[in-house]
Structure 1
């Protein structure tokens, strides 16, 4: 259940399996009968999430769970480290992060790529 809990918290925060990302959200919606609901209830009992009863909400009766600061700390402490990347993989990741209109080959010829 710890792996499922970590996955749910990561998903609720909008981060990847290594805990990386902008944490652009902090909620998870699930209802009784789903596989995730018991895990979210356990997270509430551990103080990692809070719960709003779906019966009081206007979107179909599922419960709304919010990640608490303790839940954010749990994700930071329990997410595995990202894999080590080779120099070429780091360069390609830098190209993807640049989000430019150049092809990878064109980007390789730019001055800022030489520093990567």
Structure 2
């Protein structure tokens, strides 16, 4: 990146900010990770997963879907509330199922 190369040539952060018409904070934010990691690669985003309210019960949810293939999201959301005291919305259960690689299949009635 040109800003980093300009600073590497011996110019100060404020001088680089004026030269490239950016804020000094932008220059500092570019230089700091490179100083710490030696790379300009972006940092990983998100929390890494596995830390939500369903982290302890995803295995149980997956087993329930495998046991009873026609279970609804509302039923899946109600079970942890009864057994573990974890209150959740059906959207939370859907995101957990999607994270497990399980999909919703629409089937015609009577099939």
TM-score, normalisation: structure 2: 0.28
User: In proportion to residue count, which structure has more strand?
Assistant: 1
- Structure index of larger Rg: 2
Greater relative contact order (CA < 8 Å, ≥ 6 in sequence): 1
TM-score, normalisation: structure 1: 0.27
